[in-house]
Amino acid sequence: MKIEEKLEDLEKKYDEIEEHLTNENTYKDSNLLNSLLKEKSLIEESVLLYRELKKVKKEIEDTKKLINEPDMEEIAKEELTKLQNTEKELMDKIIASLIEKDERDERDIIMEIRAAAGGEEAALFAADLFRMYSYYAEKRKWKVEIIDSHPTDIGGYKEIIFSIKGKNVFGDLKYESGVHRVQRVPVTEASGRIHTSTVTVAVLPEVEEVDIDINPDDLRIDVFRASGHGGQCVQKTESAVRITHIPTGFVATCQDERSQLKNKEKALRVLRARLYDYYETQKEKEVGEERKKQIGWGERSEKIRTYNFPQNRVTDHRIGLSLYNLAEILEGNLDELINALKEEDKKRKIENLEL
């Protein structure tokens, strides 16, 4: 569909919504009213810009006719240039407004960081990444809460799962999902050789019970004693909780709280997020290959970034960006990276619009 046809359809839909909103019966159904208001807000910017564009196009046609009049030619040409510039600006704004907005961007997140290849060094880098995201959250005045963790004896994490709450958290951090690679001399390396290790990061939008329907009969809930470093039990009571979603095989555990009830609540939060992400991913795959064209929506196994300590370099492989301030980035100064990823994502979405 050409952009003009899409805009005509949106304007027609907007007029239909406006008509519904003048009907007093609409206000008797709160669900219908909220649905209409939400739909209107999603398309309103595009429609109002399109109406402004149509006015400018009409003025351009009228101005072109004046160019043929000798006493108006110079003024008309000058005015025509201004109008054509305005037309281009409006079209750019319209294209930007047509880019599909991700309603999940405003959501809080659950982030999962796991050591992959590299043993203890990978676990140490998992801890580095957790600190990096924690520092970034602190700068944004977001709240970080650890849900579950499996620390190692020398300060690393085999796995750490935590939530981040705040404004537009998923919209900023959704690009972090994937494989993060580190190249450095490990503290455990006596010969001074550079090792390459990897850590996986998953960023899941946090969801409420109303967002996903989980049948209680599909859940198996086990309780056990929480364990510490090396697997030794650290609590005498069975407060740790493991929840298995039988149809998918997804498992969520939590042992960080002393209360079994709190551990169960946290494990359910993680399970809901994983299931929601799983079902949304399946929908995307059914729709087609569009997600592969967008930054931040690659496979979880995709290597997205390398942190090279000897060269003080961080390279994001998706956009070919290298920054030589690794220490600052690990201190949570991620704005330059995240903004570059957002801009590239926006650029690709614009290029994929059918104009």
In this structure, the answer to whether residues 92 and 107 fall within a common structural domain is: no
Q: Does residue 72 form part of some domain?
A: yes
Contact (CB, 8 A) for 200 and 126: no
Report DSSP letters for 82-109, one per residue.
HHHHHHHHHHHHHHHHHSPP-GGGGS-E
Categorize the per-residue pLDDT at 239 as very low, low, confident or very high, splitting at 50, 70 and 90.
confident
pLDDT at 198: 96
Contact (CB, 8 A) for 183 and 306: yes
What is the Cα–Cα distance from 272 to 207, expressed in whole angstroms? 7
In this structure, the answer to whether residues 124 and 245 fall within a common structural domain is: yes
Q: What is the pLDDT of residues 270-312, one digit of tens each?
A: 999 999 888 887 776 655 554 454 555 445 567 999 999 999 9
Q: Does residue 297 form part of some domain?
A: yes
CATH at residue 267: 3.30.70.1660
- Beta strand 240-245 with 250-254: parallel, antiparallel or unpaired? antiparallel
In this structure, the answer to whether residues 7 and 114 fall within a common structural domain is: no
In this structure, the answer to whether residues 71 and 107 fall within a common structural domain is: no
How are strands ordered across the β-sheet holding 195-205? 143-151, 157-165, 109-115, 195-205, 178-184, 303-308, 313-316, 321-323
Q: How many CA atoms lie within 13 A of 251 on its CB side?
A: 6
In this structure, the answer to whether residues 230 and 142 fall within a common structural domain is: yes
Q: Give me the number of domains the chain comprises.
A: 2
Q: Which domain holds residue 301?
A: 103-347
Would the pTM of this model clear 0.85, i.e. be above it?
no
What is the Cα–Cα distance from 42 to 49, expressed in whole angstroms? 13
In this structure, the answer to whether residues 62 and 90 fall within a common structural domain is: yes
In this structure, the answer to whether residues 275 and 163 fall within a common structural domain is: yes
In this structure, the answer to whether residues 39 and 149 fall within a common structural domain is: no
In this structure, the answer to whether residues 174 and 255 fall within a common structural domain is: yes
Contacts of 17 (CB under 8 A, 6+ apart): 36, 39, 40
Q: Does residue 354 form part of some domain?
A: no
What is the Cα–Cα distance from 175 to 298, expressed in whole angstroms? 9
> Which of these three, 57, 72, 98, is where a domain ends?
98
Tokens of 249: 């095989």
Tokens of 69: 């009049």
Within 10 A of 250 (CB to CB), how many other CB atoms are there?
Answer: 14
In this structure, the answer to whether residues 128 and 87 fall within a common structural domain is: no
Q: Does residue 283 form part of some domain?
A: yes
Contacts of 149 (CB under 8 A, 6+ apart): 157, 159, 160, 161, 162, 256
Q: What is the pLDDT of residues 48-69, one digit of tens each?
A: 999 999 999 999 999 998 988 8
Q: What is the pLDDT of residues 6-49, one digit of tens each?
A: 899 999 999 999 999 999 899 998 889 988 998 898 899 999 99
In this structure, the answer to whether residues 289 and 155 fall within a common structural domain is: yes
For residue 161, give the DSSP letter. E
In this structure, the answer to whether residues 149 and 266 fall within a common structural domain is: yes
